[in-house]
């Protein structure tokens, strides 16, 4: 039920308020274990070679299968998960934005800000102001 609600109750204005973990489960949770691992290692190296090794596949096959199962390329999925992690910390804690950015694996505040603009059409500051 949650999965269907998640699909159909998107907020207008680009403010997706649902769980990326759920939406990435699209059809089956073939990559559920991988997603759990990623969520627990957001600050680390989540490059394609690392993910492929974690999934036990070659880079080429991992790219193909992940896109097939998820509808997203690995790098785009990572960006979504990082943004989701940052959103949580922004609204639930008072940690400085700089620290949140590094804890979620963004190379800098600037990188995090650009990801927010791309996916949520807001800045981290604005997001915190409106959702904390």
| Site residues (vs DNA, CB under 7 A) | 47-49, 57-61, 63-65, 67, 73-76, 79, 106-108, 110-111, 114-115
Whole-number minimum distance, CB 5 to DNA, in Å? 27
Cβ closer to DNA: 51 or 89? 51
Q: Following DSSP, what letter does each residue of 38-95 receive, concatenated?
A: HHTTTTS---HHHHHHHHTS-HHHHHHHHHHHHSS-HHHHHHHHHHHHHHHHHHH---
Among the listed residues 62, 73, 66, the one whose alpha carbon sits nearest the alpha carbon of residue 27: 66
Measured from the CB atom, the residue of 14 and 92 that comes closer to DNA is 14
For DNA, which is the closer residue by CB, 5 or 49?
Answer: 49
Least distance CB 52 / DNA (angstroms): 8
CB atoms within 10 A of CB 92: 10
Please report how close the Cβ of residue 98 comes to DNA at its closest, in angstroms. Answer: 13
Considering the complex, state which of residue 17 and residue 73 has its C-beta at the smaller distance from DNA: 73
């Amino acid at each position: 039920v949650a999965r269907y609600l998640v699909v159909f109750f998107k907020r207008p204005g680009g403010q997706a308020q649902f769980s990326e973990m759920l939406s990435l489960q699209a059809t089956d949770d073939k990559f559920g274990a991988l997603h759990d691992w990623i969520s627990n290692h957001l600050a680390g190296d989540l490059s394609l070679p690392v993910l492929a090794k974690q999934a036990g596949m070659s880079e080429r096959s991992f790219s193909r299968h992940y896109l097939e199962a998820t509808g997203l390329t690995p790098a785009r999925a990572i960006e979504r998960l990082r943004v989701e992690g940052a959103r949580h910390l922004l609204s639930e804690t008072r940690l400085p934005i700089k620290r949140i950015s590094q804890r979620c694996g963004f190379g800098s505040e600037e990188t995090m800000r650009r990801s927010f603009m791309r996916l949520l059409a807001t800045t981290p500051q604005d997001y915190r102001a409106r959702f904390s």
